[in-house]
Amino acid sequence: MSTAWRIGVDSRRCIGTSICAGTAPEHFHLVGDRSAPLADVVAPADVILDAADSCPVEAITVRDAADERLIAPQD
């Protein structure tokens, strides 16, 4: 099990719906009209997966901080 996750937001894909910020405000916020993580490396939390899986354009990625294995979004 991962002990830390790396959150990424592709600003070229993000369309600024703010679903992630609404779902996980302790992990995402809007900068201008795009989402950004509040921290690059975080402790694992289901709410982060919910935010990534809710992104309509799959702009959010969650990876294992140790080995960069993709955790979300799920196919």
* Total structural domains within the chain: 1
Terminal C-alpha separation, the chain: 20
The reported pLDDT for the residue numbered 75 is 67
Count Cα neighbours of 51 within 13 Å in the Cβ-side half-sphere: 30
In-domain check, residue 74: no
> Could you tell me the CATH number of the domain that includes residue 40?
3.30.70.20
The reported pLDDT for the residue numbered 2 is 81
- pTM here is 0.91
In-domain check, residue 73: no
In-domain check, residue 47: yes
User: Which residue segment(s) compose the domain that 21 sits in?
Assistant: 5-63
In-domain check, residue 71: no
Per-residue model confidence as pLDDT tens digits over 20-70: 999 999 999 999 999 999 999 999 999 999 999 999 999 999 999 999 999
The reported pLDDT for the residue numbered 74 is 78
Long-range contacts, stretch 29-35, CB < 8 angstroms, 24+ apart: 34/9, 35/9, 35/59, 35/60
CA–CA gap between residue 22 and residue 27 (Å, rounded):
10
